[in-house]
């Protein structure tokens, strides 16, 4: 209005002259009829020039302002999002390349482990044949088995196993894993209360899950403790008589551990593999009594006989 008061070329405003009362100059007044503002007239001391915008034109102007503001806001948001995406891609690209190179390097190292490990296993076997059972040879064999277990954990962490399925005899798989455990934990008793169970699943991933759960259950068990494996309501349960867990909700976090032994990635890998295989894993634990790890196999076709009493 103020600009139009100088050249009087704004057709949307109605111009009139009113007597001076208590109006304030250059102030915008709003009423039911529209907007009014008052401006001085050169050489006139008794009248003000009144500029009026009717209520219909006022609503049109407000609508145009809102529309333009919204369009400008949307355009700003889109530009900011595009710039953010481009900046993220630009800044994260070196990190992604570094992670890819690291993964490839680890895969190469894992592959190169096979030759020295095979040599160690062969030579320890030949040494045992030559000198018989020996505590030092046994420790070498256990060390090799530990390195092999770490190698398998790294493989499980790097590779995706979801799509690779085969028929697995779960009871045999449990017996195979327990046979390896008993070499290092002779004082622990293992009980499989399952007669037979076959399942369509990725064998390597499931074996790694079972191995890590059994390894923890045996490692942190009491002296002469026991581990019982049951199958009920489509859930595979590992029940131990161990020390128990202080914070069951944290045990799947990477590097979290409650004991001095280990590096805290075994159960993190278990959770990762369970997520890949769509297996729900639950943990219940009581300090000084033991823990129960439960795996849901309901998403996989199964053939099972009744449980052993």
pTM: 0.54
Query: Does residue 65 sit within a domain?
Result: no
> Do residues 191 and 147 share a domain?
no
> Given a cut of 50, is residue 306 above it in pLDDT?
no
Number of structural domains found in the chain: 3
> Do residues 211 and 294 share a domain?
yes
Mean pLDDT value across the chain = 82
The CATH number that applies at residue 259 is: 3.30.565.10
CA separation for the pair 189, 93 (Å, rounded): 51
pLDDT for the residue numbered 117: 73
The CATH number that applies at residue 106 is: 1.10.287.130
pLDDT for the residue numbered 304: 56
Average pLDDT of the segment spanning 4-20: 76
Query: Does residue 69 sit within a domain?
Result: no
Query: Does residue 189 sit within a domain?
Result: yes
Domain limit, last residue, from 17, 36, 60 = 60
Query: Does residue 9 sit within a domain?
Result: yes
Domain limit, last residue, from 126, 154, 182 = 154
Q: Is the dihedral of CA 204, 210, 213, 218 positive or negative?
A: negative
> Do residues 172 and 204 share a domain?
yes
> Do residues 169 and 140 share a domain?
no
> Do residues 168 and 297 share a domain?
yes
Closest residue by Cα to residue 162 from 212, 205, 213: 205
pLDDT for the residue numbered 269: 84
Average pLDDT of the segment spanning 60-69: 86
Residues in the chain: 309
pLDDT for the residue numbered 264: 72
Query: Does residue 309 sit within a domain?
Result: no
pLDDT for the residue numbered 265: 77
> Given a cut of 60, is residue 112 above it in pLDDT?
yes
The whole domain housing 282 covers 163-304
> Do residues 204 and 245 share a domain?
yes
pLDDT for the residue numbered 309: 34
Q: Are 250 and 271 in contact (CB under 8 A)?
A: no
pLDDT for the residue numbered 127: 79
pLDDT for the residue numbered 98: 77
pLDDT class for 200, splitting at 50, 70, 90?
Answer: confident
> Given a cut of 80, is residue 82 above it in pLDDT?
yes
Domain limit, last residue, from 96, 119, 154 = 154
Which comes out higher in pLDDT, residue 64 or 128?
64
Work out the number of other CB atoms within 10 angstroms of the CB of residue 207: 19
> Do residues 174 and 298 share a domain?
yes
Task: At 146, give phi and psi (nearest 5°).
Answer: -65, -40
Average pLDDT of the segment spanning 259-269: 74
pLDDT for the residue numbered 158: 65
CA separation for the pair 100, 90 (Å, rounded): 16
Q: Give the chain as a 3 state SS string.
A: CCCHHHHCCCCCCEEEEEECCCCCCCCCEEECCEEEEEEEECCEEEEEEEEEEEHHHHHHHHHHHHHHHHHHHHHHHHHHHHHHHHHHHHHHHHHHHHHHHHHHHHHHHHHHHHHHHHHHHHHHHHHHHHHCCCHHHHHHHHHHHHHHHHHHHHHHHHCCCCCCCEEEEHHHHHHHHHHHHHHHCCCCEEEECCCCEEEEECHHHHHHHHHHHHHHHHHCECCCCEEEEEEECCEEEEEECECCCCCHHHCCCCCCCCCCCCCCCHHHHHHHHHHHCCCCEEEEEECCCEEEEEEECCCCCEEECCCCC
Largest interatomic CA distance in the chain = 126
> Do residues 267 and 206 share a domain?
yes
Which pair of structure tokens corresponds to residue 80?
A: 């900011």
pLDDT for the residue numbered 193: 92
> Given a cut of 90, is residue 236 above it in pLDDT?
yes
> Do residues 288 and 260 share a domain?
yes
pLDDT for the residue numbered 308: 44
> Do residues 140 and 267 share a domain?
no
Work out the number of other CB atoms within 10 angstroms of the CB of residue 80: 10
For the chain, give the percent of residues with pLDDT over 90. Answer: 21
pLDDT for the residue numbered 153: 66
Kindly report which listed range (172-186, 218-232, 260-274, 277-291) carries the lowest average pLDDT score. Answer: 260-274
Which pair of structure tokens corresponds to residue 54?
A: 């009717």
> Given a cut of 90, is residue 121 above it in pLDDT?
no
Query: Does residue 68 sit within a domain?
Result: no
> Given a cut of 60, is residue 163 above it in pLDDT?
no
CA separation for the pair 155, 107 (Å, rounded): 8
Q: Which of 9-23, 65-79, 156-170 reaches the highest mean pLDDT? A: 65-79
């Amino acid at each position: 209005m103020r600009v139009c008061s100088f050249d009087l070329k704004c057709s949307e405003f109605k111009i009139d002259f009113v007597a001076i009362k208590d109006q304030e100059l250059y102030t915008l007044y709003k009423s039911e009829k529209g907007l009014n503002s008052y401006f001085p007239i050169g050489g006139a001391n008794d009248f003000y020039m009144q500029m009026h915008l009717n209520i219909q034109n006022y609503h049109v102007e407000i609508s145009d302002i809102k529309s333009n503001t919204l369009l400008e806001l949307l355009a700003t948001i889109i530009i900011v999002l595009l710039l953010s995406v481009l900046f993220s891609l630009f800044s994260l690209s070196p990190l992604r390349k570094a992670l890819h190179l690291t993964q490839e390097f680890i895969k190469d190292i894992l592959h190169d482990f096979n030759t020295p490990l095979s040599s160690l296993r062969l030579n320890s076997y030949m040494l045992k044949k030559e000198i018989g059972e020996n505590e030092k040879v046994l420790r070498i064999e256990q060390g090799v088995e530990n390195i092999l277990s770490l190698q398998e954990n790294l493989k499980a962490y790097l590779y995706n196993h979801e799509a690779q399925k085969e028929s697995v005899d779960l009871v045999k798989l449990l017996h195979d894993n327990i046979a390896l455990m008993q070499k290092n934990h002779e004082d622990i008793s293992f009980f499989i209360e399952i007669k037979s169970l076959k399942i369509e699943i990725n064998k390597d991933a499931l074996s790694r899950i079972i191995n890590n759960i059994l390894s923890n259950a045996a490692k942190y068990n009491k002296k002469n403790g026991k581990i019982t494996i049951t199958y009920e309501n489509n859930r595979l349960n590992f029940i131990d008589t161990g020390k128990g867990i202080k914070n069951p909700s944290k045990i799947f976090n990477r590097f979290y551990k409650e004991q001095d032994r280990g590096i805290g990635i075994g159960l993190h890998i278990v959770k990762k593999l369970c997520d890949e295989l769509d297996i729900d894993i639950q943990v219940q634990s009581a300090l000084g009594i033991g823990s129960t790890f439960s795996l849901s196999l309901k998403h996989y076709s199964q053939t099972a006989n009744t449980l052993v009493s």
